[in-house]
Structure 1
Amino acid sequence: MNAPYPPPPWHLRGTLHAALWPVRADRLPPWPLPPGVRPLRLGRRRAVVTFWVDYRPGGTLAYRELLVALAVRGGGSVGACAVEAWVDDPASVAGGRALWGIPKHPAAFVHDSPEPRRLRTGVLVDPAPTDAPDAPHAPCAPLPTALHQPLVRLPGRVPLRARLFQPALPERPHPCEVPLRLTGAVRLTRTRLRTAPGAPLDYLAGLRPLAACALEDFRFTIAPAEPSQTA
């Protein structure tokens, strides 16, 4: 029987908006991490990165995503753990969970441009994620939304390599590491977030990101998962 998702690697393309948030540890949910992986410490704060992504036709799949990553140390390396994710494509939900241990859940997205050169993105998620019973997200109003204002575009295209350290999920019962490769044109941006208690990203309510940028016309490769080396 064929799997309900494409095999790895996935080659994706599109545009993303990323923001870096220094957050006090006591504000964050108790996200599970793989054995031997610890949050990267910024004093009493942790580094959280949000990604609002529009994966466009021409890649392995086309869908929209809100992903939250926690900066971590795994062994002697610095990387990230994808701790929350919502997408509007069932193949991405199933593949993300089974192939890479990324806790994806279904969602509906809203994209609009309230003012020239600005983009608002919002997400409505399903309540009570099955793998996080201690911290369910109930439907709420207003929806979690982010307003992205483009600023200066940097010259050239920037190549990036990173690694995810993912814990076990029911669909993938062993921790794994995921090599990532990304290239795109970088534009500095200003991001503002609006959320509400009990909604996704409520731990960022009232905060401002330390930095934000967009990666335009990116090419992104998610390689096959590798066994964890941190346990």
Structure 2
Amino acid sequence: MSIAENLDKIRNNIDTIKKEKGLDYDITLIAVSKTVDEEKVLEAYEHGQHDFGENKVQELTKKESSLNNLEDINFHMIGYLQSNKVKYLVNTAKLIHSLDRKSLIKEMEKRGKSEDFIFNCLIQVNLAKEESKSGIYLEDLEELLTLIEGSKYIRVKGLMMIAPFYEDAEDVRPLFRQMKELFDELKVRDFKNIEMKYLSMGMSHDYKVAVEEGSNMVRIGTDIFGKRVYV
């Protein structure tokens, strides 16, 4: 299937779930374009896909520089972010999905002050406590929220989670449900610099379950661009 056909299939799946569940909010599709060449990104863009996710800062900035002449194209930083790479995301990343530690807050504040720039972020939460994945543990979240409330150059727009991979996507449903409960709990609290607008969870293997459980932002790569070969 072509990229356009893949996008149509995913959009139809999401629309079907929305109708079945009676969901009345928009669900943002992030096309994960890591290792994908700009020609394929352009192909997706021409079929109405304007939000793309990158795991590496260097690849994000390269594509953003090459394609920023396109109207309303947005690049999201969805991978682990090293503090020394924060400076490259000023005016390039629409949304950073992987804010998860004090050192990043410190560096964003430093860069934000020097560049007069506000970083829009999601807090990455590691509910399953997988050592192979980044993300803050639930018991450390309150301290991070307090630090963000005291910041001047960070605006949190919601939460992100990378779920464990299970052969049967149904097995991850309880974690998605727990994440939505956390999102809803934080949404009603009165924060400074923090709002719960986006709940980013669900990838190619499990996005249908994630949407059913309340995700309003999904990050899909393989089901759009096909399997990647990593070298």
Whether these two folds match at TM > 0.5 is no
- When normalised by structure 1's length, the TM-score is 0.30
- When normalised by structure 2's length, the TM-score is 0.30
Higher relative contact order (Cα pairs below 8 Å, separated by 6+ residues): 1
Higher helix share: 2
Higher strand share: 1
